[in-house]
């Protein structure tokens, strides 16, 4: 039989067998043809799942993994979204794309991500985002990643710093690949809300010489994405106030927001590696990774100030049994400032990350030496050009209706000026802000592994690691002075006829249309303002002032040493590791404070240090060929985030809120335990359940208190100042379950469910504090089909509500979330694959819930990100 005919028969039979309609076909094939079918290498979804199971099964700790079965074929567009398929993991999708990963009910800031075993510096592009130790996965295209391992129980050899688990991302090495391995991917995505198509592309190439002693690989990624988000926002919580017409104390939001966020994301990534292996004993790899995210954006928010409106101009106010205002007619003639409109342009906002790493390995007889040195840096730029309009006081044209039938809303149906403004609103708020955040870490480590024969102990690992990290934030502000009584001008002066429309199709909020200011007119007006100087009495600009309250510098030095013994007892089937890690942490936290005595800013540095001894034990008992019983115990720490350690402050006098840090914070500390059973009942299949518990001490909670803040403008009283404090103990426990199986006909399923329960910490004053980020219920279900011609997957993800933040009037929760995603691939040839993908098929929204102290539970903000669709092709050379 010629090769062409043989390949055709093989293809036809594999396809029919995959569809499950030819179960008896192998009986009528020639033996050599049947043998050929059996020898075909498993690829695609099934290959990736089998690798994931094998990594879990033979790991020395409690580990789950995700692998890319081929170049550029990581299971999801975003690494975070792939990780959410793992039991106990959940992600945030605030802008329709996975950014932060939470593990086992712990907040994303309490877990670390390592790239090839080392820290990845990270920063932010959003003004309101606090610098965190949690990695922002929007920075990392999945095309650059070969695998992701999640260590839920620690080993002494792995960096400390995670309360829930440690994620280790790995890139490829050229000597592990065939020389000339190359791929090219082209793709376009359609985003529903902006109605835009955007391109993306990636390319990969790897080469090595005939002797496999030197290799080079490179990967490039280019992605654009038009982002649009519609928000129905509840600002500054439900602050009790007194209704104007009834005199009752009622619950009403400080402000509502009809928000439109638009962004053009431009992601560029490069991954380069040079590997040199002149002998079997020595190996050196120089690795460079860089990723850049251009994040220029614009945010518009039409803001009915409900508290002021009901308090000063509410008529016919209706209140339910809980004291919640359900409706109120707002008479503009009675109320002063009760409608605002914020427009913020953020051109040039961005963040980048790069890593330079040298990895050395030397293998002697029974001894393996490893050394690694490198540097990782990140810079984030958060720019703000802020303009704020307010209504003219006591203007009967600015009347509207407030309602809250479970969801607060504002109706301006009889106010035509919203889309055709004249002088109802005046522009009287303006500033420009330029924030630059940097994160840089130098690291060096040396490790040694010794083969030994101490009973069941077969290997001893020892090592040391030094880390030097510096995190900074600088800020410049431009403001105006000598503003006229009527502000900078009427709304009509800064408008050329454009209108924002089409908002809130899913969130049911109003208004859904309002005028769009003319940016060119805004730029022309404020660009022409003269610089403020002595004797200048006209409106002027104070340009590029150093804004000391927001500036800080945190230096952190971490030194660690460890010893770990790996053991395996062949007769009993017991294996695992036991180790001890000792780590010291020294921090210098510097910030500016205003001294009323000296009349100027002074720079203060607060020093802190602590040391921790972190034992760990991992046991695995291979009961038989398919059953594994695991147990683990360890002590772990999670350091405070940079924003929590700074002594700088940020205040918003208009809403009476502010926030600051605490340089003397101790880290979270926890004793944790795991007990699990894993059943590998078929090739690439697993059924498993794991019980876990974490007893957390030095719990960090947010304290809300009244505070007087000294500024150059005088002492400002802030009724709700937020600061982190170390608190008492709290316990977290739960169970993870998972099931994975592939049928002979090409169908398969992956399912997992995690239950997590955490108690509230009781504070000294008798009040309670809640651990953030914990969803009691999390579930994932993926069903797939794959044969020689195509593969398809439908994936559902769910997490229940979780505590987000403590506010001055109660607790803020993120409501339950779910998503349904789909993928389809068609294998045109062995080298060419066409694919399609859809994210958030059911167009789920993201929303918040307020649980008021001694009050009702009320709906908060809600955001719609829309669906996204992808079409693409991958060609492997």
* DSSP H or E segment with residue 146: none
Pairing between β-strand 166-170 and β-strand 112-115 as defined by DSSP bridges: parallel
The CA distance from 310 to 334, in Å, is: 10
Q: State whether 50 and 26 are in the same domain.
A: no
Coil/strand/helix, residue 307? helix
Does 28 map to a domain?
A: yes
**Number of alpha carbons in the 13 Å side-chain half-sphere of residue 177:** 26
Spatial CA neighbour of 400 closest among 313, 519, 301, 290 = 313
- What φ, ψ does residue 123 adopt, rounded to 5°? -145, -160
Q: State whether 17 and 161 are in the same domain.
A: no
Using CA atoms in the order 30, 32, 37, 40, what is the torsion angle rounded to 10 degrees?
-170
Does 226 map to a domain?
A: yes
Which residues lie closer than 8 Å to 496 by C-beta, 6 or more apart?
518, 521
If you count them, how many residues does the chain have? Answer: 877
Spatial CA neighbour of 72 closest among 841, 839, 835, 819 = 835
Which residues lie closer than 8 Å to 449 by C-beta, 6 or more apart?
367, 368, 369, 370, 459, 460, 461
- What φ, ψ does residue 18 adopt, rounded to 5°? -65, -35
Does 40 map to a domain?
A: no
Does 297 map to a domain?
A: yes
Please state the separation of Cα 646 from the chain's center in Å.
22
- What φ, ψ does residue 548 adopt, rounded to 5°? -60, -35
Q: State whether 762 and 852 are in the same domain.
A: yes
The CA distance from 648 to 608, in Å, is: 16
Coil/strand/helix, residue 38? helix
Does 503 map to a domain?
A: yes
Return the pLDDT at 18.
Answer: 38
Spatial CA neighbour of 554 closest among 515, 591, 500 = 591
Pairing between β-strand 282-294 and β-strand 777-786 as defined by DSSP bridges: unpaired
Which residues lie closer than 8 Å to 598 by C-beta, 6 or more apart?
none
Check: CB of residue 150 under 8 Å from CB of residue 103: yes
Give, as one character, the DSSP assignment of residue 436. Answer: E
Q: Which two tokens stand for residue 670?
A: 């926890």
Q: State whether 118 and 165 are in the same domain.
A: yes
Q: Which two tokens stand for residue 758?
A: 């955490």
Rounded to 10°, the helix 31-38/3-19 angle is 60
Q: State whether 31 and 156 are in the same domain.
A: no
Return the pLDDT at 651.
Answer: 75
Q: State whether 478 and 603 are in the same domain.
A: yes
Q: State whether 422 and 529 are in the same domain.
A: yes
Q: State whether 29 and 156 are in the same domain.
A: no
Q: State whether 168 and 304 are in the same domain.
A: yes
Q: What is the DSSP string of 44-66?
A: HHHHHHHHHHHHHHT-SSSEEEE
Range of the domain at 398: 45-876
Return the pLDDT at 6.
Answer: 41
Does 490 map to a domain?
A: yes
- Total domains, the chain: 2
Return the pLDDT at 655.
Answer: 66
Which residues lie closer than 8 Å to 178 by C-beta, 6 or more apart?
206
Q: State whether 563 and 604 are in the same domain.
A: yes
Does 19 map to a domain?
A: yes
**Which stretches of the chain score pLDDT less than 50?**
1-40
Q: What is the pLDDT of residues 578-631, one digit of tens each?
A: 999 999 999 999 998 876 666 678 888 999 999 999 999 999 999 999 999 999
Pairing between β-strand 810-814 and β-strand 668-682 as defined by DSSP bridges: unpaired
**Number of alpha carbons in the 13 Å side-chain half-sphere of residue 719:** 8
Return the pLDDT at 868.
Answer: 94
Alpha-carbon distance values, 330 to 247, 395, 655 (Å): 15, 11, 21
Using CA atoms in the order 190, 192, 193, 199, what is the torsion angle rounded to 10 degrees?
0
Return the pLDDT at 598.
Answer: 60
Is the preceding omega at residue 511 within 30 degrees of 0, hence cis?
Answer: yes
Q: Which two tokens stand for residue 66?
A: 């995700």
Using CA atoms in the order 596, 599, 600, 605, what is the torsion angle rounded to 10 degrees?
-40
Q: Which two tokens stand for residue 274?
A: 């040079």
Q: State whether 669 and 706 are in the same domain.
A: yes
CATH value at residue 185 = 2.40.170.20
Q: What is the mean pLDDT of the chain?
A: 89
The CA distance from 78 to 143, in Å, is: 9
Does 330 map to a domain?
A: yes
E strand spans, 570-667? 574-595, 600-622, 627-638, 649-652, 657-660
Check: CB of residue 781 under 8 Å from CB of residue 822: no
Q: State whether 181 and 137 are in the same domain.
A: yes
Check: CB of residue 750 under 8 Å from CB of residue 796: no
The CA distance from 305 to 421, in Å, is: 19
């Amino acid at each position: 039989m010629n090769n062409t005919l043989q390949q055709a028969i093989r293809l036809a039979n594999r396809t029919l067998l995959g569809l499950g309609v030819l179960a008896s076909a192998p009986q009528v094939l020639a033996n050599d043809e049947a043998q050929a079918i059996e020898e075909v290498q498993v690829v695609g979804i099934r290959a990736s799942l089998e690798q994931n199971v094998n990594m879990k099964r033979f790991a020395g700790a409690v580990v789950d993994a995700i692998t890319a079965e081929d170049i550029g074929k990581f299971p999801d567009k975003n690494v975070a979204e792939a990780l959410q398929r793992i039991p106990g993991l959940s992600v945030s999708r605030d802008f329709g794309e996975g950014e932060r990963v939470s593990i086992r009910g712990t907040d994303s800031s309490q877990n670390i991500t390592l790239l090839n075993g080392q820290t990845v510096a990270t920063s932010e592009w959003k003004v309101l985002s606090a610098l965190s130790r949690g990695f922002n996965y929007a920075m990392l295209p999945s095309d650059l990643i070969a695998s992701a391992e999640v260590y839920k129980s620690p080993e002494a050899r792995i960096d400390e710093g995670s309360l829930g688990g440690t994620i280790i991302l790995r890139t490829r090495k050229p000597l592990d690949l065939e020389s000339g391995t190359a791929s090219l991917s082209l793709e376009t995505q359609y985003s529903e809300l902006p109605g835009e198509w955007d391109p993306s592309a990636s390319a990969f190439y790897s080469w090595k010489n005939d002797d496999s002693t030197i290799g080079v690989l490179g990967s490039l990624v280019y992605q654009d994405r038009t982002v649009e988000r519609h928000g129905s926002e509840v600002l500054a919580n439900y602050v009790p106030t007194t209704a104007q017409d009834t005199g009752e104390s009622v619950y009403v939001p400080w402000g509502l927001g009809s928000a439109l966020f638009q962004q053009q994301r431009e992601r560029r990534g490069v991954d380069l590696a040079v590997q040199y292996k002149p002998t079997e004993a020595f190996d050196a790899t120089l690795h460079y990774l860089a990723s850049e995210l251009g994040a220029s954006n614009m945010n518009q928010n039409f803001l009915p100030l409900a508290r002021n409106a009901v308090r000063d101009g509410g008529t016919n106010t209706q209140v339910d049994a809980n004291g919640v205002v359900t409706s109120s007619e707002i008479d503009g003639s009675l109320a002063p400032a009760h409608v605002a409109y914020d427009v913020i342009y953020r051109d040039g906002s961005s963040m980048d990350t790069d890593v330079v790493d040298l990895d050395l390995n030397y293998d002697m007889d029974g001894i393996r030496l490893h050394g690694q040195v490198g540097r990782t840096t990140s810079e984030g730029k958060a720019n703000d050009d802020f303009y704020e309009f307010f209504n003219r006081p006591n203007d009967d044209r600015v009347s509207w209706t407030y309602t809250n039938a479970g969801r607060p809303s504002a109706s301006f149906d009889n106010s035509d000026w919203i889309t055709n403004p004249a002088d109802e609103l005046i522009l009287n708020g303006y500033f420009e802000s330029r924030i630059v955040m940097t994160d840089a870490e130098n690291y060096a480590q040396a490790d040694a592994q010794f083969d030994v024969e101490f009973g069941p102990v077969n290997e001893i690992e020892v090592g040391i690691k030094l880390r030097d990290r510096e995190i900074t934030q600088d800020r410049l502000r431009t403001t105006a002075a000598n503003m006229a009584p009527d502000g900078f001008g009427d709304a009509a002066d800064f408008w050329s006829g454009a209108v924002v429309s089409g908002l809130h199709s899913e969130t049911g909020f109003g208004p859904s249309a309002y005028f769009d200011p003319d940016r060119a007119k805004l730029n022309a007006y404020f660009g022409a303002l003269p610089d403020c100087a002595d004797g200048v009495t006209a409106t002027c600009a104070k340009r590029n002032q150093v804004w000391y309250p927001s500036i800080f510098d945190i230096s952190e030095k971490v030194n660690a040493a460890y010893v770990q013994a790996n053991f395996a007892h062949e007769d009993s089937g017991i294996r695992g590791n036991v180790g001890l890690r000792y780590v010291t942490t020294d921090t210098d936290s510097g910030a500016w404070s205003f001294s009323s005595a000296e009349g100027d800013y002074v720079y203060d540095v607060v020093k802190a240090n602590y040391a921790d001894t972190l034992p760990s034990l991992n046991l695995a008992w291979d009961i038989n060929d398919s059953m594994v019983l695991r147990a683990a115990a360890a002590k772990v720490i999670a350091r405070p985030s940079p924003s929590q350690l700074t002594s700088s402050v940020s205040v918003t006098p208009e809403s009476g809120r502010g926030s600051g840090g605490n340089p003397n914070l101790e880290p979270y500390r926890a004793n944790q335990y795991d007990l699990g059973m894993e059943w590998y009942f078929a090739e690439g299949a697993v059924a498993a359940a794991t019980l876990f518990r974490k007893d957390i001490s030095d719990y960090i909670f947010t304290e809300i208190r009244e505070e007087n803040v000294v500024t150059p403008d005088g002492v400002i009283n802030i009724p709700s100042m937020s600061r982190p404090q170390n608190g008492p103990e709290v316990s977290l426990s739960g169970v993870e379950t998972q099931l994975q199986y592939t049928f002979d006909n090409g169908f398969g399923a992956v399912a997992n469910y995690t239950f997590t329960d955490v108690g509230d910490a009781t504070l000294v004053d008798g009040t309670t504090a809640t651990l953030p980020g914990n969803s009691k219920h999390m579930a994932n279900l993926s069903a797939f089909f794959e044969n020689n011609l195509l593969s398809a997957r439908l994936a559902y993800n769910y997490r229940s509500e979780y505590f987000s933040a403590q506010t001055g009037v109660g607790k803020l929760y993120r409501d339950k979330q779910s998503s349904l995603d789909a993928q389809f691939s068609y294998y045109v040839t062995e080298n060419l694959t066409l694919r399609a993908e859809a994210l958030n098929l059911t167009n789920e929204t993201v929303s918040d819930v307020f649980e008021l102290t001694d009050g009702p539970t009320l709906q908060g903000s809600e955001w719609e990100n829309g669906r996204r669709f992808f079409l693409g092709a991958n060609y492997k050379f």
